[in-house]
Amino acid sequence: MTLNDLKNPELKKWLQEWIDLCTPDAVHICDGSQEEYDKLCNMMVKSGTFIKHDKPRNSYNCRSDISDVARVEGRTFICSRREADAGPTNNWCNPKEMRTTLKGLFKGCMQGRTLYVIPFSMGPVDSPIAKYGIELTDSPYVVVNMAIMTRVATEVLKRIDKGTEFVRCVHSVGAPLAPGQADVPWPCAPMDKKYITHFPETREIISFGSGYGGNALLGKKCFALRIASVQARDEGWMAEHMLILKLTNPKGESKFIAAAFPSACGKTNLAMMRPSLKGWKVEVIGDDIAWMQFDKNGQLRAINPEAGFFGVAPGTSMKSNPNAMLTCNRGNAIFTNTAITMDGGVYWEGMDKVPEEAVDWQRRPWKPDMKDADGKAIKAAHPNARFTVPARQCPVIAKEWEDPAGVPISAFLFGGRRASVVPLVNEALDWEHGVFLGATMASETTAAAVGGVGLLRFDPFAMLPFCGYHMGDYFGHWLKIGKVNGAKLPKIYYVNWFRKTPEGEWLWPGFGENSRVLKWIFERVDGKAEARTTAIGNLPTDDALDLKGLGISEEHKQMLLECDKEGWLKVIPEMKAHFAKFGNRLPKTLVRQLEALEARLNA
């Protein structure tokens, strides 16, 4: 399909305006085919951007510029018409001023490069929950990653050409090439020229200067959360930073659970868990994002809008997440900022076998005993090194993962990293109390550099960097969802895998043993498992959790399942300060929930 084949005047005008502004040497409309993917990968091998691995098969290694290794929150903006609508958790910029800035940056920015037009679907193409987008980019790295992470297809462009709504996404690495100028393996712009901007009212994303991950793969956090959260608010559905898993008991009965955790809290590990309990099975629908809406019967149904996994590599191993490792080992992967072993394989910190030597992510010789000038171990892979791999390759991908209708959600899980106070699992008293639990999600700080050890860092619903509008209004949207007529609302739980003894020992083994908590939740949804009502919610009774074979002492069991009234009362002031940030847009319901909690704790 070419530009001349397009019939939609609005679409053609939008494309032509950007082509005229960016002045690329060529324009290519992507079709998402394997042939196109292979051709671009081979082109990047020749240019020095990619190195082909000997193993896994058909996989590539890529090293970014050392200044372009992660999302840049400080350069990420919500350009809503009114500053108040962006809220206190987002950087805001006047949309007219930002467009003026971007127009200057984009003028001639694709000289010497090809502009790729990527038509993509977030979610199965025919799903009523799916949304379409077009990303314009001058980065072939973005094209091949988007081919894995989304559903790129000519059919999507045809539907958009016929008038289907789409989100407009524009990206450039911000590094034009003068005639005869040699390119570099990873082109990007200086930090002060990087902009990741969102225009919620017009459903636009414009990104300049970075080629990395969430800054450049605009279908991911930018569309799937920041813009989609606004669409969801306006249209009455939910766009959440949640994994989706399928849990099946020994009788073959299944339930679907969605869970939100901040970073470093085991989200991907839970999505692909190998249960320790005999006869129980966990399968994955999605590891990062869930889009959900009610069907005609009031059932909340969810899809994974992504088609791949864009996972943090360091720490992923056969112990922590064997299914992620097996997914990568099947090949067709892109590894960014990992190390290359001497036999042409891939390595990062935490993998089960440490090579005697390798080439690190900055192209330097590396050995395990190497240290820097301060005596710290030199890492072979960047801490935010990534793997991009098709979800269909996962050995525990659920058969329903591409069901256009979505899967029925029975329970929501929230959680953070808390060494004290918060029990292993807590069931919300009702929907409004569950929203309160999500709104007060937090992890304890672990270093004085971020404000002091043991203080709470709040990350409501794990959406702090990703909500595209005022978070007080976002809380209100959750409360509104709970009042939908005829809705079959999921039960809500708060889990904490990270409880410790006063001496600093782990109380809970985690990993596959977390299936014991999922079993209790499964049975609670069915109305079978026992619970006791406390000031903070419904906790498992002494014998409700299956702890056989774990060797957990009675004392430690009590710590895991206690309602620590004194501890909770100490964190009430931090919760109040957290809520105060949202001003008069904080729903009064949540104020009442906090007051009720304090009253129950003091009773």
Q: Has 265 been annotated as catalytic?
A: yes
215's CB contacts (< 8 A; 6+ apart) are: 68, 71, 72, 194, 196, 207
580-590 residue pLDDT tens? 999 999 999 99
pLDDT digits (tens, 9 = 90+) for 266-287: 888 899 999 999 999 999 999 9
Q: Which of 361, 393, 425 is at the close of a domain? A: 393
Domain presence at residue 63: no
Question: Which pLDDT does position 103 carry in this prediction?
Answer: 98
In a domain, 545, yes or no: yes
Residue 28 backbone phi and psi in degrees, to 5: -130, 125
Residue 449 above 60 pLDDT?
Answer: no
Lowest-pLDDT range of 223-227, 263-267, 284-288: 263-267
Which of 16-20, 133-137, 541-545 has the least mean pLDDT? 541-545
pLDDT, average across residues 177-189 = 96
Contact of 71 with 64, CB cutoff 8 Å = no
Is the pLDDT reported for residue 207 higher than 90? yes
Question: Do 356 and 224 fall within a single domain?
Answer: no
Confidence of residue 381 (pLDDT cuts 50, 70, 90): very high
> Would you say residue 137 lies in a domain?
yes
- What's the CATH code of the domain at 200? 3.40.449.10
Residues 232 and 85 in one domain: yes
Residues 346 and 205 in one domain: no
The answer to whether residue 356 sits within a structural domain is yes
Question: Does residue 168 lie in a domain region?
Answer: yes
263 pLDDT band, cuts 50/70/90, is: confident
How many domains does the chain divide into? 3
Q: Does this model's pTM top 0.75?
A: yes
Both 348 and 372 in one domain: the answer is yes
Assess contact for 271 and 401: CB atoms under 8 A. no
pLDDT range class, residue 96, cuts 50, 70, 90: very high
Residue 338 has pLDDT above 70, yes or no: yes
Same domain, 219 and 111: yes
Q: Is residue 55 part of a domain?
A: no
Query: Does one domain contain both 440 and 505?
Result: yes
Mean pLDDT computed over 227-233: 98
In the chain, % of residues over pLDDT 70? 98
- Residues 288 and 150: their CA atoms lie apart, in Å, by 13
E strand segments, 204-313: 204-208, 238-240, 243-248, 254-260, 281-286, 290-294, 300-303, 308-312
Residue 43 and residue 183: Cα distance in Å, rounded?
13
Q: Do residues 467 and 568 both lie within one domain?
A: yes
- Looking at 236, 264, 279, which one is the last position of a domain? 236
Range of the domain at 113: 3-49+75-236
- Integer Cα distance of 477 and 471 in angstroms: 9
Higher pLDDT, 262 or 52: 52
Strands 290-294 and 238-240: antiparallel
Edge to edge, the sheet with strand 346-347 lists 346-347, 339-341, 358-359, 365-366
**At 498, is the pLDDT very low, low, confident or very high (cuts 50, 70, 90)?**
very high
Per-residue pLDDT for 331 more than 50?
A: yes
Q: What is the pLDDT of residue 450?
A: 40
What span, in angstroms and rounded, lies between the C-alpha atoms of 229 and 77? 15
Supply the mean pLDDT for the chain: 96
Question: What does DSSP assign to residue 223?
Answer: I
Helices (H), ranges, 82-227: 83-86, 95-106, 140-149, 154-161, 213-216
User: How far, in Å, CA of 233 to CA of 231, rounded?
Assistant: 5
- Report yes or no on 69 lying in a domain: no
The alpha carbon of 181 is separated from its chain's Cα centroid by a whole number of angstroms, namely: 37
Contacts of 52 (CB under 8 A, 6+ apart): 41, 45, 59, 60, 61
Q: Over the range 306-328, which residues count as b (16 or more CB within 10 Å of their CB) and which as e?
A: bbbbbbbbbbbbeebbbbbbebb
CB atoms within 10 A of CB 36: 17
pLDDT band at 293 (very low <50, low <70, confident <90, very high): very high
CA distance 305 to 206: 20
In this predicted structure, the answer to whether residue 542 has a pLDDT above a threshold of 90 is no
Tell me: the pLDDT tens digits for 590-600? 999 999 999 99
Specify the 3-state DSSP secondary structure of 127: coil
**Is 61 among the domain residues?**
no
Maximum CA extent, the chain? 77
Same domain, 446 and 554: yes
Position 32 pLDDT exceeds 80? yes
Select which of 62, 265, 328, 467 is catalytic. Answer: 265
Domain finish residue from 236, 268, 285? 236
Q: Are residues 388 and 479 in the same domain?
A: no
Whether residues 504 and 597 share a domain: the answer is yes
Which CATH number is 384's domain given?
A: 2.170.8.10
* The total number of residues written for the chain in this structure: 603
Residues 114 and 192 in one domain: yes
- Based on the fold, state whether residues 424 and 442 are members of the same structural domain: yes
User: What is the per-residue pLDDT for 268?
Assistant: 86
What local confidence, expressed as pLDDT, does residue 453 receive? 54
With bands split at pLDDT 50, 70 and 90, how would you rate the model's confidence at 446?
Answer: low
Task: Kindly report the CATH number assigned to the domain that includes residue 527.
Answer: 3.90.228.20
pLDDT above 70: residue 447? no
